[in-house]
Structure 1
Amino acid sequence: MTTLIKGGQVVGVDGAKLQDVFVDGEKIAAVTSPGLLTTADEVIDATGKYVLPGGIDAHTHMEMPFGGTHSHDTFGTGTTAAAWGGTTTIIDFAVQAKGTSLLSTLDKWHEKADGNCAIDYGFHMIVSDVNDASLKEMEACVTAGVGSFKMFMAYPGVFYSTDGEILRAMAKAREIGATIMMHAENGIAIDQLAARAFEEGHTAPVQHGLTRPPELEGEATSRAITLAKVTGAPLYIVHLSASQALAAVAEARDGGQNVFAETCPQYLYLSIEDLAKPDFEGAKYVASPPLRDKSHQPDLWRGLRTNDLSVVSTDHCPFCFKDQKELGRGDFRAIPNGIPGVEHRMDLLHQGVVAGEISLGRWVETCSTTPAKMFGLYPRKGVIAAGSDADIVLYDPVAKQTLSAETHHMNVDYSAYEGFELTGKVHTVLSRGEVVVSPSGFGGSTTHGRFLSRDLNQYLS
């Protein structure tokens, strides 16, 4: 099967250029000047459209256990929603429980995802139980195509690791070339603040944000960077939300350290004002780190421009308002942490292009090309080039849309971006050469996606 995409502007990190793309089977066979090729089994007219490499969301949580419940998107529903939004690859997290092995955890997540994904997928490993056995298994995980390991300075008693445990894991990561991903918040201090707030009768969702101040994200980020410097390990800060944390990352990067960071759309567009909505509505916006004061947002946009923030992911972790978020009525500490967003990342970041916050090339770079390189998928993914997978998005930059729970495809009963009016919309999506989204609707299958065995971080110096 051959496909010719003609008349569009192919967008890469250097901007847009009028080119045609020829697809043969699952691969891009050629990227040519307009009109050089004229025939194919299928011809798609991309006139007036951007032709983008499929988005890569490097931080999702499908079917994730949390607080006695599970995130509401399955791998099937979540990857279908991702495809609707122009994302053709996700990297999800296999969650090690205390007392279990990393490899058995990886097997468990393969059972969840294999044959149940509409797009291609990979895994990171959450390491919550640092011991001799798990450290040894980290090397086996790399061999199995999982070269990134997430740890937590938050959630004592669940995922939390001590500085000593983090140091041990970082030393192992340095030895095997893997990257440590860090949830950087001072969980010990946060738990004390949260307990005091509850004892004083402060139970509303906004307390989630007030008891997780940005200073404690900045402190933990600085501490993680110091531990990484001592061990020589590469460090990737996940879901960075605060100016204080960004300053620590920028300083480390300026000093030549292998430190990288991502942010998420919710921190660019939402704020603690959403957490403070009345009648428990604020529970819809509970995530960790929490939404910050709007004063942090200009710094985050600046960080995206300067590459101190290298990637935009979603931390997609959807819990329904009814029956799930409502578990925290009367105690904000029991609200499941997470915001749905895998369907809207590409659209929301395009608003940054529209507003002049980032360039067209930077949009593609942060949403596709850099995550491909950061997590060992480039040039198979993340670029429109001969030999790459034909993961291609036709994007209409002038189409208008309004985000709503009534029209999104995520398996969750609310939208964190309800009523947002956006410029730009996905038109057509190809995953490995197969049209999975078109103006006619979803034409893919949840058996289409394949597991991606990943190489190591391609940015390490």
Structure 2
Amino acid sequence: MKTLIKNGTVVNATGTASADVLVDGDRIAAVLAPGSTLLGFDVESNVDTVIDAAGKYVIPGGIDAHTHMQLPFGGTEASDTFESGTRAAAHGGTTSIIDFAVQTYGQRLEDGLAAWHEKAAGNCAIDYGFHQIVGDVTAESLEALRRLPDEGVTSFKLFMAYPGVFYSDDAQILKAMQVSRDTGMLTMMHAENGPAIDVLAQQLVDQGNTDPYYHGIARAWELEEEATHRAIMLAKVTGAPLYVVHVSAKQAVEQLAWARGKGQNVFGETCPQYLYLSLEDQLGASSDEWGKFEGAKWVCSTPLRSRAEGHQDSLWQALRTNALQTVSTDHCPFCMKDQKDLGRSDFRKIPNGIGGIEHRMDLMYQGVVTGEITLERWVELTSTTPARMFGVYGEKGVIQPGADADLVVYDPNGHTSIGLGKTHHMNMDYSAWEGYEIDGHVDTVLSRGRVIVDDNQYLGRKGDGEFVKRGLSQYLI
């Protein structure tokens, strides 16, 4: 199949241009001046399908580099399967995800990765890859970690939070980072001081403060700043590259900027929830029992931060200055009924996570509309840099000949109303983004040259997505 996307404005991280995009099979064959001929032939009359993108942007498909499909957590499991979650991603203009394979305590690392392959294979609507969560740092798992690049898994995640679940102490982190240094793998870090958080959380509950709001109080920004600094120092000692996930506190950003200013290979991501939502939202809609518990919708870790303290504005600034390099979702959805409800009497038992994979591209485009970021930076944060950071650039993250034909036609004159029953295909019984209005719209989505979404209709099939073996990071200095 040959497809021509004509009359659009092609947007790459490096600039925009009026151009036609010719797709041949699953690859981009050419980026042409509008109305060009190719080898003397009129292009439009020699293709199978023509998509008119007049007045619209043509962008590389979004890459969400931080998702958790079917993740067991907090006595339940994330409500999106690889099938439902990737279908929702496609509706929102995301054409690739990188999910986290999990090694639990006492499990062989290889078995954890195999389990995630089994969950995803034949189920994904879009392409997918894996990071590896190392939940049990032992000599055996560190040796297995060294072999993962041969499997196309070139990054791994450690936790300074969640004692008794995923937590690694400083000695374990240092040993894993030495593997990162030796292999070129990227160390990803959940940077919060978990033991201290647990003490504060217990004290709050003992005082009768059990509402969802206190989740964020227990996870104070000082504990994110401290852990971020500690992770940076361990990375400096070992010479490992470091990528800090879901940064929410402006003080943690300052630590990253300080390290980057000294030339260290240190990077950070944030998520839409930290740019738009706040700790104050979790106070609830009213003082009755339900109103207070409504804040459970936005319980995630790291937590939402106070708007009064200026965290949101600082994060937008960090995206402009490249103190933060990417925007992912940390998509880890749970329904209110039978899942978030588990913590109705104790915020510590609320499964941590927000569903947002469907809305990331729209929410970040709204930042273009409001002047927070440029059009090119939108593409850079949501597609190009994730591709470079995680070793798939050239195949993905750019519109150029030879790249995968993962493309989105985005209408800046369209409109998107977010909410349950509006633009909501995630397997959740509520929307964390209920009522948000976006001055733009995803019109058409192509994955490897196939139209999988058009005019809000899903045209893809279960299993369309392929596993992507990733190379080493192309972003290191």
TM-score range, shorter chain: over 0.9
Alpha-carbon distance in structure 2 between the residues aligned to 1:16 and 1:413: 39
Structure-to-structure mapping, 1:228-247, within 5 angstroms: 228-247=235-254
* Secondary structure, aligned partner of 1:362: helix
Q: Which residue of the other structure, out of 392, 397, 400, is the alignment partner of 1:382?
A: 397
Structure-to-structure mapping, 1:385-396, within 5 angstroms: 385-396=400-411
Matched, 1:404 2:441: no
Alpha-carbon distance in structure 2 between the residues aligned to 1:439 and 1:189: 49
Alpha-carbon distance in structure 1 between the residues aligned to 2:416 and 2:322: 29
Aligned to 2:287: none
Aligned to 1:262: 269
Aligned to 1:14: 14
Aligned to 1:175: 182
* Secondary structure, aligned partner of 2:182: helix
**Does the CA contact (< 8 Å) of 2:283 and 2:292 recur in 1?**
no
Alpha-carbon distance in structure 1 between the residues aligned to 2:156 and 2:416: 37
Q: Which residue of the other structure, out of 439, 454, 462, is the alignment partner of 1:438?
A: 454
Alpha-carbon distance in structure 2 between the residues aligned to 1:368 and 1:22: 20
Aligned to 2:105: 98
Report the TM-score when normalising by structure 2. 0.96
Alpha-carbon distance in structure 2 between the residues aligned to 1:306 and 1:235: 19
Shift of 1:422: 1.1
What letter matches 1:341 in structure 2?
A: G
Shift of 1:15: 2.7
Shift of 1:440: 5.9
Alpha-carbon distance in structure 2 between the residues aligned to 1:319 and 1:446: 22
Report the TM-score when normalising by structure 1. 0.99
Shift of 1:68: 1.1
Matched, 1:426 2:433: no
Aligned to 2:40: none
Matched, 1:111 2:118: yes
CA deviation map 1:240-278 (0-9, x unaligned): 000110000000011100000000000000001122112
Q: Which residue of the other structure, out of 194, 197, 202, is the alignment partner of 2:204?
A: 197
Shift of 1:142: 1.2
Aligned to 1:415: 431
Shift of 1:401: 1.8
Alpha-carbon distance in structure 2 between the residues aligned to 1:13 and 1:447: 30
Aligned to 1:38: 44
What letter matches 1:284 in structure 2?
A: K
Aligned to 1:71: 78
**Does the CA contact (< 8 Å) of 2:212 and 2:292 recur in 1?**
no
Shift of 1:149: 0.5
* Secondary structure, aligned partner of 1:117: coil
Alpha-carbon distance in structure 2 between the residues aligned to 1:439 and 1:355: 25
Matched, 1:448 2:461: no
* Secondary structure, aligned partner of 2:419: coil
Aligned to 1:284: 297
* Secondary structure, aligned partner of 1:399: coil
Aligned to 1:335: 350
What letter matches 1:406 in structure 2?
A: G
* Secondary structure, aligned partner of 1:378: coil
CA deviation map 1:202-244 (0-9, x unaligned): 1000010011111110000000000000000000000000011
Segments of structure 1 that go 5 or more residues without pairing to the other structure are none
Q: Which residue of the other structure, out of 297, 311, 327, is the alignment partner of 1:296?
A: 311
Aligned to 1:122: 129
What letter matches 1:114 in structure 2?
A: A
How many residues align? The count is 461
Moved >2 Å (runs of 4+): none
Alpha-carbon distance in structure 2 between the residues aligned to 1:406 and 1:34: 38
Alpha-carbon distance in structure 2 between the residues aligned to 1:459 and 1:439: 35
Alpha-carbon distance in structure 2 between the residues aligned to 1:398 and 1:358: 18
Matched, 1:353 2:368: yes
Percent same amino acid among aligned pairs? Answer: 62
* Secondary structure, aligned partner of 1:165: helix
Give the alignment's Cα RMSD to 1 decimal.
Answer: 0.7
**Does the CA contact (< 8 Å) of 2:74 and 2:351 recur in 1?**
yes
